[in-house]
């Protein structure tokens, strides 16, 4: 294993950041990042002479080397101090001081190191905070935020992931967020959207989005100034266990299609996300379940009349939005029936001109739709005789 290479050269190697947080919470980390006292040049030299394959990635100027071992990529980053920060890009200076490296990380729960012998290096009480489910910035919140304003949204995301209940924030943290909210205006839409989507699918989303309005963040991240917080409250309750797409949750804030357009302009959402938002805004009010024995009929008719692909998945999202859990299950089991009559059948019955065939098919299709798509070929053809 590679750690022997590090030991031989007296370089220290430890697991860093998010992976330590996950391991301490009893979760399997998605990827394990390492930190080391070795510089990128020293690592390269060491790995190359040991015959370990290096993956060429752009991380080297930040001090990251990626080694390929046992079919896995290992990212190993040299300890560093951020020298210049403009709220987006940091210049880097290498160090051998673990505490200095921990200092520039965002939250206490993300600032720990774990030795391969199981020793925990925790300079900012991160383990206590993790056990108490507390989200805190390392050192002064305002300083951490000014190093990268996206950290405001990372704060919210981890709050939604770890905190036990809504409203458990330090007032100094909220103050620092409010004072620095404007900084988010300079962060790229793509980076914001990645964070916002995770917040929308996490816990406490209603609380966190309200906070975004209270702390004056909303306007800088593409959300409408007059977001419909009542509807958002209602829909986030509806949707709790239904695995919605992020856009489905977010659309409940929107009053009209302009809100979707503005979000897209600021965050560069995907075409599919934009179309889903527009679909929900347009149909959430009037496309609802039918009274009576066939509540799904309006949705089924909509799908049958629709000429687009993936209308089904949009209808599923609409049902989630409306909180229709049982109908959603039924709808997901429903398959689009195929119309049982063809022009060929009509020719056999003696309808000859193309125009008549077209008209007859149109009429039969209507009858079939009225029957809830239950009529079979025999029934439809005998219906044609009546017509």
315-334: average pLDDT: 95
Q: State pTM to two decimals.
A: 0.87
Q: Ramachandran region of residue 100, left (φ > 0), alpha (ψ -120 to 50) or beta?
A: alpha
Residue owning tokens 């190191």: 113
* Exposed e or buried b per residue across 348-361, where buried means at least 16 C-beta atoms within 10 angstroms of its C-beta: eeebeeeeebeebb
Helix (H, G, I), strand (E, B) or coil at 189: helix
Which has the closest alpha carbon to 103: 126, 87, 120, 86?
Answer: 126
* Exposed e or buried b per residue across 198-217, where buried means at least 16 C-beta atoms within 10 angstroms of its C-beta: bbbebbbbbbbbbbbbebeb
Residue 311 pLDDT class (50, 70, 90 cuts): very high
Whether 86 has a pLDDT exceeding 70, the answer reads no
Each residue's pLDDT tens digit, 157-171? 999 999 999 999 999
- Judge whether 257 and 282 are in contact, CB under 8 Å: yes
**DSSP element (H, E) containing 325:** helix 325-333
Helix (H, G, I), strand (E, B) or coil at 105: coil
Burial class (CB in 10 A: 0-12, 13-18, 19+), 163: buried
CA dihedral over 49, 55, 59, 65, signed as positive or negative: negative
pLDDT: which is higher, 1 or 330: 330
- The whole-number pLDDT of residue 252 equals 98
Whether 107 has a pLDDT exceeding 90, the answer reads yes
Residue 84 pLDDT class (50, 70, 90 cuts): low
CA dihedral of 55, 56, 59, 64, whole degrees rounded to 10:
40
| Parallel/antiparallel/unpaired status of strands 72-78 and 53-55 | unpaired
- Judge whether 15 and 32 are in contact, CB under 8 Å: yes
Whether 256 has a pLDDT exceeding 90, the answer reads yes
Paired strand residues for 68: 53, 73
* Exposed e or buried b per residue across 81-99, where buried means at least 16 C-beta atoms within 10 angstroms of its C-beta: ebeeeebeebebebeeebe
What is the distance between the alpha carbons of residues 387 and 72, in angstroms, rounded to a whole number?
Answer: 69
Residue owning tokens 């909220």: 174
Which domains, from first to last, does the chain contain? 1-135 (3.30.460.10), 140-221 (1.10.3090.10), 225-336 (1.10.3090.10), 343-385 (no CATH)
232: Cβ contacts below 8 Å, ≥ 6 apart = 206, 209, 252, 253
| Among 13-22, 95-104, 292-301, 337-346, the least confident range | 337-346
Residue 92 pLDDT class (50, 70, 90 cuts): confident
The dihedrals phi and psi of 84, each to the nearest 5 degrees, come to -105, 135
Each residue's pLDDT tens digit, 200-232? 999 999 999 999 999 999 999 999 999 999 999
Residue 318 pLDDT class (50, 70, 90 cuts): very high
Residue 89 pLDDT class (50, 70, 90 cuts): low
Residue 282 pLDDT class (50, 70, 90 cuts): very high
- The whole-number pLDDT of residue 3 equals 81
- 336: number of Cβ within 10 Å: 10
Whether 351 has a pLDDT exceeding 90, the answer reads no
- The whole-number pLDDT of residue 232 equals 98
153: Cβ contacts below 8 Å, ≥ 6 apart = 184, 192, 195, 196, 199, 221
What is the distance between the alpha carbons of residues 354 and 125, in angstroms, rounded to a whole number?
Answer: 80
The most distant pair of C-alpha atoms in the chain lies apart, rounded to whole Å, by 93
Whether 386 has a pLDDT exceeding 80, the answer reads no
What is the distance between the alpha carbons of residues 211 and 178, in angstroms, rounded to a whole number?
Answer: 10
Residue 387 pLDDT class (50, 70, 90 cuts): low
What is the distance between the alpha carbons of residues 373 and 368, in angstroms, rounded to a whole number?
Answer: 5
Question: Please, what is the average pLDDT of the chain?
Answer: 92
Share of the chain above pLDDT 90, in %: 71
239-252: average pLDDT: 95
């Amino acid at each position: 294993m590679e750690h022997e290479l590090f030991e031989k050269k007296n370089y220290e190697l430890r697991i860093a950041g998010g992976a330590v947080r996950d391991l301490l919470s009893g979760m399997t980390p998605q990827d394990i990042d390492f930190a080391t006292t070795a510089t990128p040049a020293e690592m390269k030299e060491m790995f190359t002479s040991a015959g370990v394959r290096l993956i060429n990635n752009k991380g080297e100027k930040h001090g990251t080397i990626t080694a390929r071992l046992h079919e896995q990529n290992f990212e190993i980053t040299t300890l560093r101090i951020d020298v210049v920060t403009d709220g987006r890009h940091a210049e880097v200076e290498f160090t051998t001081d673990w505490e200095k490296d921990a200092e520039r990380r965002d939250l206490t729960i993300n600032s720990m190191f774990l030795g391969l012998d199981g020793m925990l290096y925790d300079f900012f009480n991160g383990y206590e905070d993790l056990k108490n489910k507390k989200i805190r910035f390392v050192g002064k919140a305002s300083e951490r935020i000014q190093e990268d304003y996206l950290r405001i949204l990372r704060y919210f995301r981890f709050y939604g992931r770890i905190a036990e209940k809504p409203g458990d924030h330090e007032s100094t943290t909220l103050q620092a967020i409010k004072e620095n909210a404007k900084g988010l205006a300079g962060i790229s839409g793509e980076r914001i959207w990645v964070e916002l989507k995770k917040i929308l699918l996490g816990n406490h989303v209603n609380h966190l989005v309200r906070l975004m309005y209270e702390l004056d963040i909303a306007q800088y991240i593409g959300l409408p100034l007059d977001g419909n917080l009542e509807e958002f409250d209602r829909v986030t309750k509806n949707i709790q266990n239904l695995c919605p797409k992020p856009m489905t949750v977010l659309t409940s804030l929107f009053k009209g299609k302009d809100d979707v357009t503005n979000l897209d302009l600021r965050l560069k959402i995907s075409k599919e996300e934009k179309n889903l938002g527009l679909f929900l805004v347009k149909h959430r009010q009037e496309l609802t379940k039918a009274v009576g024995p066939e509540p799904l009929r309006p949705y089924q008719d909509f799908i049958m009349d629709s000429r687009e692909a993936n209308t089904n998945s949009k209808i599923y999202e609409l049902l989630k939005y409306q909180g229709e859990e049982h109908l959603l299950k039924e709808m997901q089991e429903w398959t689009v029936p195929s119309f049982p009559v063809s022009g060929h059948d009509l020719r056999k019955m003696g309808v000859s001109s193309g125009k008549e065939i077209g008209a007859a098919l149109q009429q039969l299709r209507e009858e079939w739709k009225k029957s809830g798509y239950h009529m079979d070929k025999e029934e439809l053809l005998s219906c044609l005789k009546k017509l």
